[in-house]
């Protein structure tokens, strides 16, 4: 009997070993394609960009020369570079908090409906995310066209004076920020809906028995319990706002008076229009460090251990 049990044990161990080996083997097979894609189109360009940032490589030169930290010094000593950083940072302050609040508010309303109705609203709010940025930007440009655009036609019919919108140094930045306020909440809504659906109903039922008001229920229960999702949404928002490019390129070209000259648009112009690959690469590396630093600070400020 003991010999039988020992034999059975070894047979079962071999079966589990083989099963584990097969699962591990196929897991690596499935991740090999995205891993290879990331290596070719993300990791290698990053390494190449870091290498270029220490050279004077430019389109006008067939060879490159090692210049060390010269490109970094030139970028950091440039007042215009810090101007573009400030524009991007101000855009993040204008967009990210609003994105978090709007996404959470809409998700709180959607989660109260039945599943089919929830799916409809989730798809409706996510649709602008799927829409081509070029198409969406063209629509926004038509709406806020300084002359006879839809927005001016509407406010004129309401008895107000027409506005310059993108042509005004005081309004162009806020119009671009408004583009994000009225769209781009699809992913945030989906994430918050998932987080809200994971909160036990018993917590809300207990608060109702204690007579907790809706606003206090939101600030004391909902907001703390969705904080991990808020961290994720805010980090994605920060990365996205520091990389904004399409609106500046397709609508304002950084103007008027450089009020919408985002840092990513500055890197594009330095790279393609001026042909300074080394300087543009140094800008990209500095921007990567800034985004990483801001993301870490954001995580350290918002992170907390939440269990329910």
pLDDT tens track for 15-31: 555 555 566 766 777 77
pLDDT value of residue 4: 44
Task: Give 198: exposed, middle or buried? Use CB within 10 Å, 0-12, 13-18, 19+.
Answer: exposed
Report CA-CA distances (Å) from 260 to 99, 148, 251, 266.
20, 22, 10, 10
pLDDT value of residue 211: 77
pLDDT tens digits, one per residue of 155-188: 888 888 888 888 888 888 998 888 888 877 888 8
Per the CB < 8 A criterion, the answer to whether 157 and 94 are in contact is no
**Per the structure block, which two tokens stand in for 32?**
């090999």
Q: Does residue 213 carry a pLDDT above 90?
A: no
**Per the structure block, which two tokens stand in for 133?**
């940025």
pLDDT value of residue 61: 63
Residue for token digits 């010269």? 70
Q: Is residue 29 part of a domain?
A: no
- State how far the Cα of 137 lies from the Cα of 133, in Å rounded to an integer: 6
Q: Is residue 40 part of a domain?
A: no
Q: Does residue 62 carry a pLDDT above 90?
A: no
Q: Using alpha carbons, select from 80, 90, 88, 89 the residue that is nearest to residue 263.
A: 88
Look up the CATH number of the domain holding residue 245.
1.10.3720.10
Q: Does residue 14 carry a pLDDT above 80?
A: no
* Range of the structural domain that residue 219 is part of: 70-302
Percent above pLDDT 70 for the chain: 87
Q: Is residue 57 part of a domain?
A: no
Residue 121 pLDDT level (bands cut at 50, 70, 90):
confident
Per the CB < 8 A criterion, the answer to whether 185 and 99 are in contact is yes
Q: Is residue 53 part of a domain?
A: no
Mean pLDDT, the chain, rounded, equals: 81
Report which of residues 176 and 136 the model is more confident about.
Answer: 176
Q: Which helix (H) or strand (E) holds 142?
A: helix 133-143
pLDDT value of residue 90: 92
Q: Is residue 3 part of a domain?
A: no
pLDDT value of residue 262: 92
pLDDT value of residue 80: 92
Q: Is residue 265 part of a domain?
A: yes
Between 60-74, 97-111, 241-255, the lowest mean confidence (pLDDT) is in 60-74
Between 100-104, 125-129, 266-270, the lowest mean confidence (pLDDT) is in 125-129
Q: Using alpha carbons, select from 245, 255, 241 the residue that is nearest to residue 290.
A: 241
Q: Does residue 86 carry a pLDDT above 90?
A: yes
pLDDT value of residue 1: 45
Highest mean pLDDT among 78-92, 126-140, 236-250, 290-304: 78-92
Per-residue pLDDT, averaged over 88-111, amounts to 90
Q: How many domains are there within the chain?
A: 1
Q: Is residue 159 part of a domain?
A: yes
Report which of residues 22 and 51 the model is more confident about.
Answer: 51
Q: Does residue 144 carry a pLDDT above 50?
A: yes
Q: Is residue 103 part of a domain?
A: yes
Q: Does residue 143 carry a pLDDT above 90?
A: no
Per-residue pLDDT, averaged over 67-93, amounts to 90
| Backbone region of residue 200 per phi and psi (left: phi > 0; alpha: psi in -120 to 50; beta: other values) | beta
């Amino acid at each position: 009997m003991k010999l039988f049990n020992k034999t059975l044990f070894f047979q079962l161990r071999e079966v589990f070993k083989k099963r584990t080996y097969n699962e591990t083997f196929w897991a690596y097979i499935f991740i090999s394609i995205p891993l290879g894609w990331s290596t070719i189109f993300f990791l290698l360009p990053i390494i190449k960009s870091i290498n270029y940032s220490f050279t004077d490589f430019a389109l006008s030169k067939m060879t490159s020369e090692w210049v060390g930290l010269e490109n970094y010094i030139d970028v950091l000593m440039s007042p215009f570079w810090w101007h573009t950083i400030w524009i991007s940072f101000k855009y993040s302050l204008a967009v990210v908090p609003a994105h978090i609040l709007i996404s959470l508010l809409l998700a709180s309303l959607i989660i109260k409906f039945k599943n089919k109705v929830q799916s409809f609203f989730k798809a409706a709010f996510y649709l602008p995310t799927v829409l081509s940025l070029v198409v969406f930007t063209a629509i926004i440009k038509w709406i806020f066209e300084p002359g006879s655009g839809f927005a001016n036609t509407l406010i004129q019919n309401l008895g107000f004076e027409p506005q310059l919108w993108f042509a005004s140094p005081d309004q162009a930045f806020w119009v671009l920020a408004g583009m994000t306020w009225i769209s781009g909440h699809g992913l945030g809504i989906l994430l918050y809906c998932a987080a809200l659906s994971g909160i036990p109903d018993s917590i809300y039922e207990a608060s109702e028995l204690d007579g907790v008001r809706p606003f206090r229920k939101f600030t004391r229960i909902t907001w703390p319990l969705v904080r991990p999702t808020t961290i994720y949404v805010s980090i994605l928002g920060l990365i996205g706002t520091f990389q904004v490019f399409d609106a500046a390129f397709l609508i304002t070209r950084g103007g008027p008076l450089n009020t919408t000259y985002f840092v990513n648009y500055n890197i594009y112009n330095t790279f393609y229009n001026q042909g300074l690959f080394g300087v543009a690469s140094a800008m990209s590396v500095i921007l990567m460090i800034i985004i990483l630093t801001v993301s870490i600070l954001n995580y350290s400020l918002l992170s907390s251990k939440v269990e329910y």
